[in-house]
Amino acid sequence: KAGVTQTPRYLIKTRGQQVTLSCSPISGHRSVSWYQQTPGQGLQFLFEYFSETQRNKGNFPGRFSGRQFSNSRSEMNVSTLELGDSALYLCASSFSAGSSYEQYFGPGTRLTVT
Amino acid sequence: AQKVTQAQTEISVVEKEDVTLDCVYETRDTTYYLFWYKQPPSGELVFLIRRNSFDEQNEISGRYSWNFQKSTSSFNFTITASQVVDSAVYFCALSEKGGTSYGKLTFGQGTILTVHP
């Protein structure tokens, strides 16, 4: 079974630009969550999508947005990039049914804003 | 508000030593889930274990064991006979609610474990 894939793996952008990151969950997983990891703030929840609907949202400004497609693939977008947006962005896909539960993270996209 | 505290920022041990990583959590929910993840230098978070709030049984998986104590709101992780490959950052995490939404995790600050040969 293929794991969670994230593209691109590395990205360098300039302040003010926008960026789109992609996440393909494990086949059969309908939930996709996004996290931002920085040395100062640690791992912080951005949002969660389930069946194309945003189910949860973290405390991030509106510049951060996401969506999920019918095939469960998800994208997150950051507009008007700031230096502080430099981080590792991790995507997780999960599956839950009764007592069965799986959650796996992708390798992440490392975004550098200059 | 939910909170996870990993008091140990860094731990350094010599191979074959046992090491325990502490995790204390706060939540008002009666149903919740606790997790441990390992993050090697590659950056990917590797799932180690999930525990729900109704199951206080300790668990052992090879050299790994977990001690869940609801009375002290702790979910500690022990590595027995540590190996160099265990060197990584370890995160404890708490899910917001039980049920169908496990996607929102609150993470601790992480513990950097270094195992020296």
Rounded percentage of chain A residues whose pLDDT exceeds 70: 96
Residue position matching structure tokens 């706060």: B26
Quote the pLDDT of residue A46.
96
Q: Are A67 and A75 in contact (CB under 8 A)?
A: yes
- Residue to substitute from B105, B106, B109, B111, interface A, most A β-carbons within 10 A: B105
Q: How confident is the model at residue A102 (pLDDT cuts 50, 70, 90)?
A: confident
CB pairs A-B closer than 8 Å: 66
Token pair for residue A114? 């200059």
Q: Confidence band (pLDDT; 50, 70, 90) for A65?
A: very high
The distance of Cα B64 from the centroid of its chain, to the nearest Å, equals: 11
CB count within 10 Å of CB B91 equals 25
Nearest residue of A to residue B111 by CA position? A42
For the record, the structure tokens of A6 come out as 């994230």
For residues B53 and B91, the model is more confident at: B91
pLDDT tens track for B25-43: 999 888 888 999 999 988 8
Interface test with A, best of B44, B55, B109 (most A CBs within 10 A): B44
Q: In sequence order, what E strands does chain B have?
A: 3-5, 10-14, 19-21, 24-26, 33-39, 46-52, 59-61, 64-69, 74-79, 88-95, 105-107, 111-116
